[in-house]
Amino acid sequence: MLKNIPPILSPELLKVLCEMGHSDRICIGDGNFPGAAMAKAGGAIFLRADGHGVPELLDAILQVIPLDTYVEKPAILMEKMDRDKDLNIPVWETYKDIVSKYDSRGAEAVGNIDRFDFYDEAKKCYCIIQTGETQIYANIILQKGVI
């Protein structure tokens, strides 16, 4: 056991977060996200976090890594498809609140990109985490900064 480390962060995930350098990215995918396929396609490390939600992991990860201050939007969400335009995605506000706890830019540090662009960006991530999150459009990519 380590002191002051959120217990939701597994040893494997802590190792990945430590290995990541400035501008490396990590994707936290919801339960519907094709994480294994994306990781295989892009050569990313693939980790499972079954039984955990994205908000809890996001909060824990941001306790130990900074977001990149050299880019405008170091936290990226998957934009809704046109057919889902009327869906309310409350988890996005939760993400903005969590990011605001750890980054002085607050919600301004969070951006959205098209679903298929998100997939392309996920394939470029250092690591993809597959969670058990049941909310849809609950995927997020974080870009690591410097301490």
Alpha-carbon span 121 to 109, nearest angstrom: 17
Given the residues 24, 30, 59, 68, select the one marked as catalytic.
68
Give the tens place of pLDDT for each residue, 117-138: 999 999 999 999 999 999 999 9
Q: Note whether 125 and 26 are within 8 A (CB).
A: yes
Nearest Cα residue to 126 out of 13, 3, 6: 13
70 is catalytic: no
Is-above-0.85 flag for pTM?
yes
Given the residues 95, 102, 119, 126, select the one marked as catalytic.
119
Domains present along the chain, CATH in parentheses? 11-143 (3.40.1650.10)
22 is catalytic: yes
What was the pLDDT predicted at 94? 98
Given the residues 22, 70, 84, 114, select the one marked as catalytic.
22
Alpha-carbon span 127 to 16, nearest angstrom: 7
Helix (H, G, I), strand (E, B) or coil at 98: helix
Give the tens place of pLDDT for each residue, 66-92: 999 999 999 999 999 999 999 999 999
- pLDDT band for position 1 (50/70/90)? confident
Mean of the pLDDT values across residues 24-38? 97
